[in-house]
Amino acid sequence: MSQENLCRLALYRAEMIGSGIAKNLIAYCGSAEEVLKTSKHKLIKIPGIGEATAEAVSKVSKLDQAEKELTFIEEKGIRMLFHTDEDYPSRLRQYHDCPMMLFYKGSSNLNSERVVAVVGTRSVTDYGRSVTEKLLAHLAEFKVLIVSGLAFGVDTIAHRAALTQGLETVGVLGHGLDRLYPSENESLARKMMASGGLLTEFMTGTRPDRQNFPMRNRIVAGMSDAVVVVETKREGGSMITAELANDYNKDVFAFPGRVDDEYSAGCNKLIRDHKAHLIESGQDLTDLMRWNRLGDEPNLKIQPALFHDLPESEQRVFDYIRNNQKVHIDLLHKSHSLTPGEMAGILLSLQIKGLVLVHPGKIYSTV
């Protein structure tokens, strides 16, 4: 039983600390164990840590509950994914509100090359069922990891269709892994753990309470390249997921519906407000994402121009991408004091010069 994992769990479950503060404390002190060893007097000196937070940390002394949690995790074959771990979803890690830890039971690589979230109403219609199943049948040719929320309706259809098509699928939960909601999906969940998995930020004992699901939705959006909204009312969890995906600069897609259909009203609104691409098939999605089928990848070798004398701003961005191999657009924005327009111009110039490639999900790499 790792002492560091015990300390991480103790910090994670502590009141008045929160995931963001815990991440900052660990980064500053070097480990969760060192955070708990640091005196209140020294904690107060850490930037952004006030007296109330330091007091809360100083009270995290008993590890009994953390030991029970870790025992459960080890007995059930659950993996603890710390936000700096290699197995933690790298797409999600880029955002400041990513959870400090995730709990995962499954077999899929959460950093698969292509990840698509499929979301929608619990009250799915025959139309919604049909377009979801056709979408998944098309995506089967592209080796996509399918993510959804294991709820009734579109989520359940997407998970089942993914398994039918031989795709791996991950359900993101709004509760701990000591229970399953809805219980009717227990058989489906077992199949998913053999070809996909279950993922949550919540510890054992956490019930599927209403306030947990918007938090769950940010993980669905953040760990995906694209979010597909099948059917939804103008308000609800799917609309929250779509809004979060837009905030994260993800590609959002929606199937349109009749103007008088309440379960298409949300999709139509997203399309009207330019917050989602209109798609009528899976082919539309893969075309817009510029994905190729398995075994049909183009064998193109781009020869970068030699001896470029780059402007200083372009050189800095180029060096950053080269040193980090693959970089999301959000990370580029955070790492450079440039406006979105200036960054877009630099990236376009580097692409024209044959120095940088853009990949699905707005990820950049050098040639």
The pLDDT score that the predictor gives to residue 160 is: 98
The pLDDT score that the predictor gives to residue 61 is: 63
The pLDDT score that the predictor gives to residue 302 is: 46
- Contact between 177 and 206 under an 8 Å Cβ cutoff? The reply is no
Q: pLDDT truncated to tens, each residue of the chain (367 aa)?
A: 588 899 899 888 887 788 888 888 888 889 988 988 888 888 888 888 888 888 888 877 667 778 889 999 999 999 999 998 999 999 999 898 999 999 999 999 999 999 999 999 999 999 999 999 999 999 999 999 999 999 999 999 999 999 999 999 999 999 999 999 999 999 999 999 999 999 999 999 999 999 999 999 999 999 999 999 999 999 999 999 999 999 999 999 999 999 999 999 999 999 999 999 999 999 999 999 989 876 565 544 444 554 467 888 899 999 898 888 788 888 888 888 888 788 888 998 888 888 888 887 678 888 7
- Contact between 270 and 351 under an 8 Å Cβ cutoff? The reply is no
The pLDDT score that the predictor gives to residue 92 is: 94
**How many CA atoms are closer than 13 Å to the CA of 66, on its beta-carbon side?**
21
- Among 171, 165, 159, smallest CA distance to 140 is for 165
The pLDDT score that the predictor gives to residue 16 is: 73
3-state secondary structure string across 176-231:
CCCCCCCHHHHHHHHHHHHCEEEEECCCCCCCCCCCHHHHHHHHHHHCCCEEEECC
The pLDDT score that the predictor gives to residue 96 is: 87
- Which domains are present in the chain? 3-68 (1.10.150.20), 105-289 (3.40.50.450), 312-366 (1.10.10.10)
> Sheet holding 145-148: strands in order across?
79-82, 101-106, 196-200, 169-172, 145-148, 115-119, 226-229, 251-254, 277-278
What are the DSSP calls for 126-193, one per residue? HHHHHHHHHHHHHHGGGTPEEEE---TTHHHHHHHHHHHTT--EEEEPSS-TTS-SSGGGHHHHHHHH
Neighbours of 295 (CB within 10 A): 6
The pLDDT score that the predictor gives to residue 300 is: 44
What are the DSSP calls for 272-334, one per residue? HTTSSEE-SSHHHHHHHHT---TT--------PPSS----HHHHHHHHHHHHHSEEEHHHHHH
